Amino acid sequence: MDEEFDWQQDDETSELVSRFEELLKSGNGHFFDVEEFESIIDYYLDIQQTGMARSAIEWALEQHPDSNSFKIREARLLTQEAKYNQALKILDDLAMLENGNEEFYLAKGEIYSLMDKHEEAIDAYKNAMNTSERPEEILSNIAYEYESLNDYPNALRYLTKALELRPESEDLIQEIAFFFELTNREEEAIEFFGNFLDRHPYSKFAWFNLGIFYSNLELFEKAIQAYEFVVAIDDEFASAYFNMANAYTSIQQYHKAISLYEETLKLEKPDAITYCYIGESWENLNNLEKALIFYNQALDLDDKLADAWGGVARIFVRQNMEKTAVKYYEKAIQLAPTQDELKFELAVLFLRNHNLEKATPLFEEVVNHNNQHVEAWLNYSLVFALQDDFSQAIDILTKALKDNDSDAKILYRRAGYLYRIGKIEEAYFDIEQAVKLNFDDHQELLQYLPELLDEPRFVEILDLYKKLDH
């Protein structure tokens, strides 16, 4: 997490390096003071030219044999060469002399970190804090060590301390957001960034992450407000427009989403996923012609984007070009073999065309990968019910209930199958459980078994739970 320098643009350092490389060629004629050698060595260490760094250290020690700073840099060089014990030996020999030297403790902390001795690294970095002129960077290093120990509360604590010193740091804000997300603490993240913004209301990165956490909690209107603050501060923040568009999509305001996606395209290099999302928005607005145009634009940019292939497939389905749609679905699945929704949509298409042989394995793959995909379970069972294999259909729904025991649709459907094979009491048991969970879903059962309305027992159950439900 140390600050990075662009050495190539540092004229003074470039001149020093040129002079040193002339020294290597000629072998004489150049003298460098301690600070100049430190700059030369640091340059080579930062670009990881270990051979040149070693040469610079050797010349530095020859000209300034009493300077311990070059020995510390030698330890850093050995660290780059993964010679950790040798590096530590050099530092241990300097320990009494360099007590309180920030560079000494930073070098030691880096070695311990690379050796996975994170507690020792933390101690070294804490010692460096005592004299450091850049404490926020050391606090970040300590946070990283706690992260490596999976001690996320302490990692977050030290990152927060660092942010107090550098509230404008995008990296620190992103790191803090990462820890909240990693530990599933969205509510705390919202509180944290809210308090931070009370003190730093013009932090676009804090507003941006606040929007993300609101979206994660499906508080899309609040997310939109947060993103609006971002673009009010920086009207060229493309990611804020993109995320805001996603939030508008989630509340089904597709025209607004499209305008924001298009704003994203003006601000950064055209991206296939943005065209794809515009296509989805037009699809949701039932403008299939425009949807197809944008899906194809997405594929022009990235012909391996599975979502765009799937989008084109859906358009062909709605245009009754189902054979063509199958080819597009198959291409999408080939590109994204773990994407359940693509398999589900293709399986439904096969089911609708009574191609049960092809539908079956697809539904099976989906439920095996995502055992909470209720619609996949229902359709998977229907494949067997259509073949009058009600026992298998019931077994499938019984498996589905293991992970979806509060889903009324599964219970209603299983009740229908049980009723079909004459297991009336078991069917009514499921019906009573289902109406307790969701009264309105009984309409789906009636679509399958409309004759139930002629049964007094069923009507009594509906009357009873309708009163309780309302």
Phi-psi region of 299 (alpha: psi -120 to 50; beta: other; left: phi over 0): alpha
Has this prediction a pTM greater than 0.85?
Answer: no
> Which residues, including other chains, have CB under 8 Å from residue 31's CB and lie 6 or more apart?
63
Tokens encoding 337: 């073999």
> Which residues, including other chains, have CB under 8 Å from residue 352's CB and lie 6 or more apart?
none
Helices 102-114 and 84-94 pack at an angle, to 10 degrees, of 150
Kind and range of the H or E run holding 316: helix 306-318
The alpha-carbon radius of gyration of the chain (Å, integer) is: 32
- Classify residue 83 by its DSSP letter: -
Alpha-helical regions (H) of 336-389: 340-352, 356-369, 374-385
- How many of the other CB atoms lie within 10 Å of CB of 306? 19
> How far apart are the C-alpha atoms of 157 and 152, rounded to whole Å?
8
**Burial class of 329 by CB neighbour count within 10 A (0 to 12, 13 to 18, 19+):** buried
* Helices H / strands E in the chain, number of each: 27, 0
- Give CA 127 to chain center in angstroms: 35
Give one DSSP letter per residue of 88-116, joined into a string.
Answer: HHHHHHHTTTSTT-HHHHHHHHHHHHHTT
Question: What pLDDT does residue 6 have?
Answer: 41
- Per-residue tens of pLDDT for the chain, all 470 residues: 444 334 344 678 888 888 888 788 777 667 888 888 888 888 988 888 888 888 888 888 888 987 888 888 888 888 888 898 988 888 888 876 666 678 888 888 999 999 999 999 999 899 888 778 889 889 999 999 998 998 988 999 999 999 999 999 999 999 999 989 988 899 999 999 999 999 999 999 999 999 999 999 999 999 999 999 999 999 999 999 999 999 999 999 999 999 999 999 999 999 999 999 999 999 999 999 999 999 999 999 999 999 999 999 999 999 999 999 999 999 999 999 999 999 999 999 999 999 999 999 999 999 999 999 999 999 999 999 999 999 999 999 999 999 999 999 999 999 999 999 999 999 999 999 999 999 999 999 999 999 999 999 999 999 888 766 65
**For the chain, domain boundaries:** 406-417+425-470
Whether 374 and 413 have beta carbons less than 8 Å apart is answered as no
- Give CA 319 to chain center in angstroms: 35
- How many of the other CB atoms lie within 10 Å of CB of 325? 22
Alpha-carbon dihedral sign for residues 141, 147, 151, 152: positive
What are the phi and psi torsion angles at 206 (to 5°)?
A: -70, -45
Instruction: Tell me the three state secondary structure of residue 280.
Output: helix
Instruction: Tell me the three state secondary structure of residue 190.
Output: helix
> Which residues, including other chains, have CB under 8 Å from residue 293's CB and lie 6 or more apart?
279
Whether 128 and 106 have beta carbons less than 8 Å apart is answered as yes
Question: What pLDDT does residue 96 have?
Answer: 66
Tokens encoding 25: 């060629």
Angle at the Cα of 14 (from 13 to 18), degrees rounded to 5?
A: 115
Question: What pLDDT does residue 469 have?
Answer: 60
> Which residue's entry shows tokens 């009370």?
198
> How far apart are the C-alpha atoms of 284 and 288, rounded to whole Å?
9
Tell me the CA distances in angstroms from 25 to 29, 55, 129, one per residue in order: 11, 12, 41
- Classify residue 454 by its DSSP letter: G
